[in-house]
Structure 1
Amino acid sequence: MSTVLPLPLHDPTSRARDPRPAPPAAQRLGKRLRHQVGRAIADFGMIEDGDRVMVCLSGGKDSYTLLDILLQLQKKAPVSFSITAVNLDQKQPDFPEHILPAYLSSLGVDFHIIEQDTYSVVSRVIPEGKTMCSLCSRLRRGALYSYAEQHGFTKIALGHHRDDLVATFFLNMFFHAKLSGMPPKLRSDDGKHVVIRPLAYAAEADIAAYADAMAFPIIPCNLCGSQENLQRKQVQRMMDAWERESPGRIETIARALGDIRPSQLSDPKLFDFLALDAALPDAPRPQAQAWSTDDTGTAMS
């Protein structure tokens, strides 16, 4: 059962002020990340004037970086928008529940902690040794979407980065036989929520280096993150090997995801291959069965 804690008393439109000076390495990386995030926001129309952006904060390097960069961009953005950091406490054993509230309070950023024991549900339903990601992510998404709807957030910001987008593309191709990925911006299946991924152009290595330089209080995941048999980890190992052998390959693949040529693929739903025969515009189109029968008139399998 979900427990919704009271909203903090500080002004939800206030902008965070962090008195700590960023080290030189973080300043350089921060400049690059701000440029990449700003470009993604502009390219995909992620944030508009008056938006209330809910940043989903897990306690990992990606979501910390996402929140930090958005807070920096908020100060000089061409539009006015509010930011609220929201964490789902899934009641994992030994989860240090004091870390995020303390960190976020030190920034002065508006935040909220949702408490929902999804850990017990996943542990009870999923057999030992099986991957927990699918059910865990579904429960987590449901809790976050419900909170966003209840409190009128117009955008839900997630910390997925460039490498996540590429990995999802290969996961769908290798394990689900489809060319699809993780879009930088999408509307949820029920049409109620717009999800944005402002780190879509950012490399994981840069995010990891930035998080380290900024000394974010990382909270490791001991649920799904520790499972070595995940398909995603197989794909990640493949991508890591590619990057070692041919540096820059992941960036090339990421750019390719934004340059799709339907006529060069094989999906007749996306491209009208039948219309290419301009000499016979009105000719009847034979059904597939007519081309797939043997000499006896039986359809071939």
Structure 2
Amino acid sequence: MLFLIIALGAGLILAAQNAINAELSACLKSPIAASFLGYIVGTLFLFVLTIIIGDFAKIADLFSAPLWLLSGGLFGLVFVTSCIILFPKIGAVETVMLPTLGQIVAGMLFETVGWFNVDIIPMTLLRIVGLIVLLLGTYIAVVLATQRKTLASRTQNNQTSSRLVLRLWAFGAGVLCTVQSTFNGQLGSLIDSPTVSALWAFVIGLIVLVFLKPNTWQVFIRGVKMPQSWSAGVAGGTFVTLMSLLIPKLGPGLTVSISTLGVMVGAMLVQQFGLFKSSRQNVSVTQVIGILIMLSGIILIKMF
């Protein structure tokens, strides 16, 4: 029960992180710069946490781990940066729901096929029905809700195809998030430290960001004074650490499913009340119905 509550909390943290990162990106006028600030603060936070809990010596165990397990941070970087870019374009709810759909589908695939050393869970009729219900809920919450808004104000002509691309991008980002969480979870289990596993993921992402943004140090001096940088970094470090802890205990499918509830509730609160200076949009009845149907699908997939 405790791990389920932690997974729920991890989802709430991710929803808040997405909104904070989007606000930071708007302030710095660069999603890459926002990612860089979040990663450098997250790396510092996890480094200090590793020392405090006495796991510093376990960093040496990273060098004996398989190379593929060490690559989780790269997938996480793509996921975080994608969410920062997509948040102002498709809104808080869709930025959560579509990656979440990608995470769940990827988790089911990994468990069915046994990829990446994941324990195999056979595909049953109930799981297939659950997936269909999940897809139906996503269609209602994302497509139908948007169509109703478009009918109310017909100012968008050529945005349908571009919005489809953005939604596919969000779905793919969710798949990469599951890959990252699976890799980090197995790495944390191998070296007996989810904190060191999360720290390594942040270090890898930070190294890549340094090369992507030559003037990052100038941005750092400006951005480090912003409270959003510290909030985003700590939230990101906490989320990755919790996922690294939970996946070996609950499995990738159940971990993603339970955290999904927290993410969805958090995203709806952010959108409804305009939290973290995000654009305020009323959550529609259609979105609520779609989300409830999605949750029903998750229960069918994971609980029975």
Please give the range of the TM-score, normalised by the shorter of the 2 chains: under 0.3
TM-score (norm 1): 0.25
TM-score (norm 2): 0.25
- Give the structure with the larger strand fraction: 1
- Give the structure with the larger helix fraction: 2
- When Rg is computed on C-alpha atoms for both structures, the one with the higher figure is 1
Q: Name which structure has the greater RCO, CA cutoff 8 Å, separation 6+.
A: 2
